[in-house]
Amino acid sequence: MLLKIVTLFLIAMAVLAMLGRLRLPGTGGGRFSLGRAKTGKCPACGRHRIGSGPCPCGKG
């Protein structure tokens, strides 16, 4: 019985790992979209931009 439970647990973990690597077309970066918009990077300094405000470097 314990062997069955361990086997089912390992199968469930393998399925979750496969779903985590799943890439869907048209979802921004190819991953699951969780409602977060990708803002990208500042073209001037290359920092990641968080939110919709200007970059702290003042150039982007």
* d(C-alpha 47, C-alpha 18), whole Å: 31
pLDDT digits (tens, 9 = 90+) for 6-60: 999 999 999 988 887 776 555 555 444 454 455 678 888 988 888 788 888 888 6
> The pTM is what?
0.40
* Residue 10 parent element (H or E): helix 2-20
55, 49 in Cβ contact below 8 A?
A: yes
The whole-number pLDDT of residue 9 equals: 98
Q: Alpha carbon of 12 to those of 2, 3, 17, 29, 58: distances in Å?
A: 15, 14, 9, 26, 48
Q: Which two tokens stand for residue 27?
A: 């979802």
